Structure 1
C-alpha cells in the first residue's frame, strides 16, 4: 500500500517532459521513505512501533491491538502522495495556452 501512491507520484515526473528530456538524478529518492516504512512494519522488532498488542495476547489473529506512530506515518505518506498527485493532475488538466480547466 505504501508503494502504490509513491508510484503514482513518480509518474508525475514524466509529465511535461519530452521523450528525450532526462529526469533529475534525485528522482529515486522518493522511494527511500516508503521503503524504510515498509521495512519498519515488516521486521519483527520494529513491528511493535506500528502495532501494539496487550500483554499476554501477542498471538496471531488477535483482534485486540492498537496503532502506533509508524502506522500513522504510513497513513500520512499514503494520504500526502495521493493528495499531491490529484492536485497536480487537476492543475495540469488545462487546455493549452488558456486558463480554462479541461
Structure 2
C-alpha cells in the first residue's frame, strides 16, 4: 500500500521519469469456458469480448451464423441474445 502511494506521489512530481506499468490484455478465451468458446464457433470466430456486468458478457463475432445456441445452453449459459452486426450477449447467471 505504501509503495503504491509513493509511486503515485513521485509520478505526480515527475511524470516523465516514472514509467507507466504495462496493462496486459487477457487472452481471448480467458472469461469463456472451452464449451462456450466452442459453441460460439471457436476462438478464431471471436473479435472481442467484454464483461458488461457480473452475469453478462458481450461478444463480438466474425461470423454470427456459427453460434450454436443449444450448445451454449448445455454449457450453462442461461440466455443468449444475438444482435445485428455479430454482437452476442450471454447471460451467464441469474
Shorter-normalised TM-score: what interval? Answer: under 0.3
- Which is richer in helix? 1
Say which structure, 1 or 2, has more relative contact order (CA 8 Å, 6+ apart).
Answer: 1
- TM-score for the superposition, normalised by structure 2: 0.21
- Which is richer in strand? 2
